[in-house]
Chain A
Amino acid sequence: MTSIPAAASLVTDATQPAQSPLRLSWQRFKSNRFAMGASMVVVLFILMAIFAPWLAPHDPNETDLLRRLQVPVWMQGGEWSYPLGCDALGRDLLSRIIYGSRVSIFIGATVIFVATAIGVVAGLLAGYLRGWVDAVISRLVDILLAFPYLLFAIGLMATMGPGLQNIILALAYKEWVIPCRLVRGETMALREVEYVEAARAVGASSFYIMAREILPNILSSVIVVSTLRIAHVIILEASLSFLGIGVQPPTASWGSLVADGRAFIWDGWWVSTFSGFAILMLVLAINVSSQGLRDAFDPRLRD
Chain B
Amino acid sequence: MSLAKFLERLLQLIPVMLGVSAIVFLMILITPGDPVDIMLGEQQATPEQREALRKDMGLDKPAAQRFGHFLRNAATGNFGHSYFHRRPVSEVILERLPATIELTLAALVIALMISIPLGVLAAVRKNSWVDRSATLGSLLGISMPGFWFGLLLMLVFGVWMQWLPISGRSDMASQVPVVTSFLTVDALLALNFKVFASALSHLALPAITLGLPMAAVLTRVTRTSMLEVLRQDYVTFAEAKGLSPRRVLFTHALRNALIPTVTMAALEVGSLLGGSMIVETIFGWPGLGRVVVESIFTRNYPMIQAAILLYALTYVLINFLADLLYTVLNPRVTL
Residues of A within 8 A of B (CB): 139-140, 142-144, 146-152, 154-160, 231, 235, 238-239, 242-245, 255, 258-259, 261-262, 265-266, 269, 272-273, 275-277, 279-280, 283-284, 287-288, 303
Closest 8 CB pairs of A and B: A150-B274, A276-B148, A143-B19, A148-B270, A284-B143, A283-B143, A148-B274, A159-B31
Q: Which residues of A contact B274 (CB under 8 A)?
A: 148-151, 154
Whether B295 contacts A143 by the Cβ 8 Å rule is no
Contact status of A155 and B145, CB under 8 A, knowing A262-B282, A273-B152 = no
Contact status of A243 and B159, CB under 8 A, knowing A154-B277, A280-B145, A280-B148 = no
Whether B293 contacts A155 by the Cβ 8 Å rule is no
Whether B20 contacts A143 by the Cβ 8 Å rule is yes
Residues of B within 8 A of A (CB): 15-17, 19-20, 22-24, 27-28, 30-32, 38, 139-140, 142-148, 151-152, 154-155, 159, 224, 227, 269-271, 273-275, 277-278, 281-282, 292-293, 295-297, 301, 304-305, 308, 311-312, 315-316
Whether B19 contacts A139 by the Cβ 8 Å rule is yes
Q: Which residues of A contact B145 (CB under 8 A)?
A: 235, 238-239, 242, 255, 258, 276, 279-280, 283
Roughly how many angstroms separate A303 CA and B126 CA in the complex, as a whole number? Answer: 10
Whether B155 contacts A239 by the Cβ 8 Å rule is no
Extra contacts besides A154-B274, A243-B281, A287-B139 (7): CB < 8 Å: A150-B274, A151-B308, A159-B28, A159-B30, A243-B277, A245-B296, A287-B142
Q: Which residues of B contact A244 (CB under 8 A)?
A: 297
Q: Which residues of A contact B139 (CB under 8 A)?
A: 284, 287-288
14 A-B residue pairings within 8 Å (CB atoms): A146-B20, A148-B315, A149-B270, A150-B278, A155-B27, A235-B145, A239-B145, A258-B148, A265-B155, A269-B155, A277-B148, A280-B144, A287-B139, A303-B224
Distance in angstroms from B278 CB to nearest chain A CB is 6
Q: Which residues of A contact B278 (CB under 8 A)?
A: 150, 239, 242-243
Roughly how many angstroms separate A159 CA and B163 CA in the complex, as a whole number? Answer: 40
Whether A243 contacts B15 by the Cβ 8 Å rule is no
Whether B315 contacts A143 by the Cβ 8 Å rule is no
Q: Which residues of A contact B146 (CB under 8 A)?
A: 235, 239
Contact status of A151 and B311, CB under 8 A, knowing A159-B28, A243-B281 = yes
Distance in angstroms from A268 CB to nearest chain B CB is 11
Whether A239 contacts B270 by the Cβ 8 Å rule is no
Whether B308 contacts A272 by the Cβ 8 Å rule is no
Roughly how many angstroms separate A152 CA and B277 CA in the complex, as a whole number? Answer: 12
Q: Which residues of B contact A140 (CB under 8 A)?
A: 19
Whether A155 contacts B147 by the Cβ 8 Å rule is no
Q: Which residues of A contact B269 (CB under 8 A)?
A: 148
Whether A262 contacts B151 by the Cβ 8 Å rule is yes
Distance in angstroms from B148 CB to nearest chain A CB is 3
Q: Which residues of A contact B159 (CB under 8 A)?
A: 265-266, 269
Whether B148 contacts A272 by the Cβ 8 Å rule is yes
Distance in angstroms from A246 CB to nearest chain B CB is 11
Residue of B nearest to A232 (CB): B142
Distance in angstroms from A46 CB to nearest chain B CB is 17
Whether A276 contacts B312 by the Cβ 8 Å rule is no
Roughly how many angstroms separate A275 CA and B274 CA in the complex, as a whole number? Answer: 22
Residue of B nearest to A234 (CB): B145
Whether B24 contacts A155 by the Cβ 8 Å rule is yes
Q: Which residues of B contact A158 (CB under 8 A)?
A: 295-296, 301, 304
Roughly how many angstroms separate A85 CA and B155 CA in the complex, as a whole number? Answer: 18
Roughly how many angstroms separate A158 CA and B41 CA in the complex, as a whole number? Answer: 13
Distance in angstroms from B224 CB to nearest chain A CB is 6
Whether A148 contacts B311 by the Cβ 8 Å rule is yes
Q: Which residues of B contact A255 (CB under 8 A)?
A: 145, 147
Roughly how many angstroms separate A115 CA and B304 CA in the complex, as a whole number? Answer: 26
Roughly how many angstroms separate A245 CA and B144 CA in the complex, as a whole number? Answer: 20
Roughly how many angstroms separate A158 CA and B301 CA in the complex, as a whole number? Answer: 8
